[in-house]
DNA sequence: CTGTTAGCGCGTTCAT
DNA sequence: ATGAACGCGCTAACAG
């Protein structure tokens, strides 16, 4: 607590411990080998002096090139950055990075922007790596070689870009099966935007279950929004009046559907069951409470960032389990 | 696009331009003076070679100390970092910081942790500045001098720590007045945790309006959670059966109250009105839709981070307007 | 296991 | 206006 205003460097520590810079460095960075005795003295001196290594100098000497990880979110407009989902990713990522002295920044990747933004990131030596969100095929195709190996994707992966994602396929199938097992036979799905490949998986899961059960396939377009769910439910009842269940690709969409059905006087789950995906905080509070599936976003984000930081060989793809949460709506 | 894999340094540029390192540095960093001719040649060479300065080396040489801004959130447990509100702050902060090549990291500040964590941040040369969230008096008191001037608070401010916050006082008063003007006379407020000073402001606003209207003061404890709202509504009706309105300090609490009232068969807003604060995404979807007040979190976070980065003289306190959003519940 | 010597890439005095 | 030299704080290669 007597720290002087001037920064205390490793030289000060070495001097105080009566050893050379190198020895101090070895002890403090944990690399190489050192005797128990000098190790103790160095550590004690560092503690006493309040030594904190300068990450810049360390990175420079190590040839590491980057003090930040960029979370790059694809989408039609910059508004995707406002999304609560992105917020969760940021929190998860930033918590892990902090330990390591690196920060996270956030950026929008316009759909169809070619490789421009990505090239800029690759050239910027302040970026240690990239975490892709809402990853599209296009982004994967134009991914600069210099970014591969230090990029992770929350969603679709590719060569040099490991994927960290929920197994939404599994839980979607579970939900549809649950609906069928509780007597539903005319199940409509309101899906996600076409530009997002991983939003396709739950749809495939839905289709597979529906087909094997010999039920009619009913898919309506959507874009993850509440209004898509609202419009979807309306359209469903118009085209198929016998609809007895609506599966929204996400909770926002499901809640939109819930709201539309309610305004129509349709009883949920009496007449129509509704299911979603995400388990957002307020899914439990809707009327009726929404049946959905969990989504460990922060854990996934943390894993993705860790892969980028360690840059060692991370698994090329890891799927996180998603659990069905049965509530009242289905 | 013919960039070789090896990083191109300022030496390469200098060599290609036929000048010395110093001259190249002067030209590219804009400091000092240089002839028009060599300036042109250096710039051209840099362009041709695709030179991008290494921010680490630059910062190290300049003695700048910081590549990240730390968002430090006070709270009883690390779970505060999971909060959607914190996610919003992160998104807003990280978007701004990215422009500048700096990242954001996230950290929990345990209540009653004395100055330990803050001292570590002050000593860590990788931190450019700090943004405080859920700022307590205690944190302000133990704020290290070396952090002042590069710290901003989203909430309560102090010396060397400018405040960026919503004017929740104003909109809270507006809400209570609205309730009174629509005939409510027994208004209960479920408040926030005691350790959070800025959560006190809406309570004061409530009390002021209630008193000037000659109505009974009815305040119940809470902690920003859904369950606090749930419990609060139950307790309110138990202690004061004539309650005709519940004001939750935040939307989560208000929605919890809504849920409790519903389970009791109380008609909202017929028997009891309910109001919240935050305007979370699903406030519009509750049944009935929640009356609340907006909260420009991302804008505020962006301003706070800008103040930390510019480190110039930011206003010592700026209050952002909060607008009442009238829906069905009140 | 230790100390010595070289850089990492850049800014910034000094002379010239 | 320009170049040579030094230093930022640290790690890594080399001898001993």
What are A243-298's pLDDT values in tens digits? Answer: 999 999 999 999 999 999 999 999 999 999 999 999 998 899 999 999 999 989 99
With a cut of 50, say whether residue A236 has pLDDT above it.
yes
Sequence-distant (6+) residues with CB within 8 A of A139 are: A74, A109, A118, A132
Q: Provide the residue ranges of all domains of chain A, joining segments of one domain with +.
A: 5-53, 68-166+298-319, 168-293
Identify any residues that bridge with B130 across adjacent strands, giving them in sequence order.
B70, B151
Query: What pLDDT is recorded for position B265?
Result: 95
- Percent pLDDT > 90 in chain A is 66
List of B residues 163-192 with CB within 7 A of strand D: none
Identify any residues that bridge with A248 across adjacent strands, giving them in sequence order.
A190
With a cut of 60, say whether residue A160 has pLDDT above it.
yes
Using CA atoms, how far residue A261 sits from A88, B280, B317, in Å, is 30, 22, 46
Calpha distance A282→A304 (Å, rounded): 26
Best CA proximity match to A295, nearest among B108, B225, B82, B256 = B82
Domains B68-166+298-319 and B168-293 share a fold: yes
Q: What is the mean pLDDT of residues B314-330?
A: 89
Query: What pLDDT is recorded for position B4?
Result: 42
With a cut of 70, say whether residue A102 has pLDDT above it.
yes
The shortest CB-CB distance from A98 to any of B52, B107, B284 is to B107
Q: What is the mean pLDDT of residues B104-109?
A: 96
Which pair of tokens denotes residue B65?
């100390």
Query: What pLDDT is recorded for position A37?
Result: 80
Is the CB of residue B230 inside 7 Å of nucleic acid strand D? no
- Other beta carbons less than 10 A from residue A178's beta carbon: 17
| A2-33 per-residue burial string, b: 16 or more CB within 10 A, e: under 16 | ebeeeebbbebbbebbebeeebbbbbbeeeee
Using CA atoms, how far residue B150 sits from A153, B129, B199, B268, B314, in Å, is 34, 5, 24, 47, 10
Q: Which fold has domain A68-166+298-319?
A: Rossmann fold (3.40.50)
Nucleotides of D under 7 A from a protein CB: 1-5, 7-13
Q: Tell me if A103 and B105 make a contact (CB, 8 A cut-off).
A: yes
With a cut of 70, say whether residue A314 has pLDDT above it.
no
Across all residues in chain B, what is the average pLDDT?
91
Query: What pLDDT is recorded for position B3?
Result: 40
> How sure is the predictor about A3, in pLDDT bands with cuts at 50, 70 and 90?
very low
Class of domain B168-293 as given by CATH: alpha beta
**Chain A residues whose beta carbon lies within 8 Å of the beta carbon of residue B70:** 98
- Percent pLDDT > 90 in chain B is 67
**Chain A residues whose beta carbon lies within 8 Å of the beta carbon of residue B129:** none
> How sure is the predictor about B2, in pLDDT bands with cuts at 50, 70 and 90?
very low
The shortest CB-CB distance from A87 to any of B70, B84, B285 is to B84
Angle at B225 between CA B220 and CA B229, to 5 degrees: 45
Angle at B280 between CA B277 and CA B286, to 5 degrees: 95
B215 backbone dihedrals φ, ψ, rounded to 5°: -100, 165
Calpha distance B77→B61 (Å, rounded): 39
Q: What is the mean pLDDT of residues A112-138?
A: 91
When mean pLDDT is compared across B1-5, B43-47, B225-229, the lowest value belongs to: B1-5
B225 backbone dihedrals φ, ψ, rounded to 5°: -95, 165
CA of A59 to C1' of C7 (A): 14
Which pair of tokens denotes residue A97?
């990075």
Calpha distance B286→A226 (Å, rounded): 13
Using CA atoms, how far residue B212 sits from B200, B208, B248, in Å, is 18, 6, 20
Contact predicate B207/B172, CB 8 Å: no
The shortest CB-CB distance from B94 to any of A65, A88, A104 is to A104
Nucleotides of C under 7 A from a protein CB: 1-13
**Chain A residues whose beta carbon lies within 8 Å of the beta carbon of residue B56:** 56, 59-60, 65, 67, 125-126
**Chain A residues whose beta carbon lies within 8 Å of the beta carbon of residue B287:** 262, 286-287
Query: What pLDDT is recorded for position A316?
Result: 67
* Sign for the pseudo-dihedral over CA of B204, B205, B208, B211: negative
Tracing tokens 């916050």 back to the chain, one arrives at B165
pLDDT in tens, B241-288: 999 999 999 999 999 999 999 999 999 999 999 999 999 988 999 999
The shortest CB-CB distance from A68 to any of B59, B90, B103 is to B103
Q: Is B22 helix (H, G, I), strand (E, B) or coil?
A: helix
Closest-CA residue of chain B to A283 = B282
When mean pLDDT is compared across A53-62, B2-11, B215-224, the lowest value belongs to: B2-11
Sequence-distant (6+) residues with CB within 8 A of A305 are: A69, A92, A93, A96, A97, A104, A131, A152
Contact predicate A58/B57, CB 8 Å: no
> How sure is the predictor about A313, in pLDDT bands with cuts at 50, 70 and 90?
low
Angle at B256 between CA B252 and CA B262, to 5 degrees: 145
Best CA proximity match to B108, nearest among B86, B137, B84 = B86
Is the CB of residue B32 inside 7 Å of nucleic acid strand D? yes
| A143-158 per-residue burial string, b: 16 or more CB within 10 A, e: under 16 | beebbebbbbbbbbbb
> Rounded to a whole number, what is the distance in Å from the CA of A213 to chain B's nearest CA?
34
Is the CB of residue A23 inside 7 Å of nucleic acid strand D? no
Domain A5-53 CATH superfamily: lambda repressor-like DNA-binding domains (1.10.260.40)
With a cut of 60, say whether residue A190 has pLDDT above it.
yes
Is the CB of residue A285 inside 7 Å of nucleic acid strand D? no
B7 vs A46: which has the higher pLDDT: A46
* Sign for the pseudo-dihedral over CA of B243, B249, B251, B256: negative
Using CA atoms, how far residue B196 sits from B107, B153, B224, B276, in Å, is 17, 13, 11, 18
| B55-85 per-residue burial string, b: 16 or more CB within 10 A, e: under 16 | bbbbbbeeeebbbbbbbbbbbeeeebbbbbb
Is the CB of residue A242 inside 7 Å of nucleic acid strand C? no
With a cut of 80, say whether residue B314 has pLDDT above it.
no
Query: What pLDDT is recorded for position A6?
Result: 61
Is the CB of residue B63 inside 7 Å of nucleic acid strand D? yes
The whole-angstrom distance between residue B327's C-alpha and the CA centroid of its chain comes to: 26
**pTM of the entire structure?**
0.89
Sequence-distant (6+) residues with CB within 8 A of B232 are: B188, B190, B220, B221, B222, B246, B248, B253, B256, B257, B260
- What size, in residues, is chain A? 330
Identify any residues that bridge with A62 across adjacent strands, giving them in sequence order.
none
Is the CB of residue A16 inside 7 Å of nucleic acid strand D? no
> How sure is the predictor about B1, in pLDDT bands with cuts at 50, 70 and 90?
very low
Q: List strands edge to edge, sheet with A245-248.
A: A218-220, A187-190, A245-248, A273-275
Q: What is the mean pLDDT of residues B149-171?
A: 93
Calpha distance A249→A114 (Å, rounded): 28
Q: Tell me if A97 and B103 make a contact (CB, 8 A cut-off).
A: yes
A178 vs B5: which has the higher pLDDT: A178
B259 vs A315: which has the higher pLDDT: B259
B127 backbone dihedrals φ, ψ, rounded to 5°: -95, 125
With a cut of 90, say whether residue A182 has pLDDT above it.
yes
* Ranges assigned E (strand) in chain A: 68-75, 103-110, 127-133, 151-154, 163-166, 187-190, 218-220, 245-248, 273-275, 292-293, 317-320, 324-325
Using CA atoms, how far residue B210 sits from B187, B276, B297, B330, in Å, is 8, 17, 28, 17
- Other beta carbons less than 10 A from residue B23's beta carbon: 19
């Amino acid at each position: 607590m007597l720290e002087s205003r001037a920064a205390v460097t490793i030289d000060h520590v070495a001097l105080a411990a009566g050893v050379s810079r190198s020895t101090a460095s070895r002890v403090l960075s944990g690399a190489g080998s050192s005797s128990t005795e000098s190790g103790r003295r160095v550590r004690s001196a560092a503690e006493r002096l309040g030594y904190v290594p300068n990450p810049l100098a360390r990175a420079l000497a190590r040839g590491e090139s980057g003090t930040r990880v960029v979370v790059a979110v694809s989408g039609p407009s910059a508004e995707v950055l406002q999304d609560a989902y992105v917020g969760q990713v940021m929190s998860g990522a930033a918590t892990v990075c902090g330990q390591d002295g690196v920060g996270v920044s956030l950026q929008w990747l316009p759909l169809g922007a070619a490789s421009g933004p990505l090239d800029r990131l690759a050239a910027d030596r302040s970026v240690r790596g990239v975490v892709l969100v809402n990853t599209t095929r296009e982004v994967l195709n134009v991914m600069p070689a210099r970014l591969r190996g230090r990029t992770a994707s929350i969603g679709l992966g590719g060569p040099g870009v490991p994927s960290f994602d929920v197994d939404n396929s599994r839980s979607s199938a579970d939900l549809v099966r649950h609906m069928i097992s509780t007597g539903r036979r005319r199940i409509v799905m309101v899906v996600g935007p076409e530009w997002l490949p991983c939003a396709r998986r739950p749809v495939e899961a839905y289709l597979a279950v529906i087909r094997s059960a010999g039920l009619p396939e009913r898919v309506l377009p959507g874009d993850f929004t509440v209004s898509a769910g609202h419009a979807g439910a309306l359209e469903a009842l118009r085209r198929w009046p016998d609809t007895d269940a609506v599966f929204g690709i996400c909770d926002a969409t499901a809640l939109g559907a819930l709201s539309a059905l309610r305004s129509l006087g349709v009883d949920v789950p009496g007449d129509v069951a509704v299911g979603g995906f995400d388990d957002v905080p307020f899914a439990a509070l809707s009327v009726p409470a929404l049946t959905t599936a969990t989504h460990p976003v922060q854990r996934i984000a943390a894993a993705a960032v860790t892969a980028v930081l360690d840059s060692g060989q991370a698994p090329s793809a890891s799927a996180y389990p998603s659990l069905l949460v049965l509530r009242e709506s289905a």
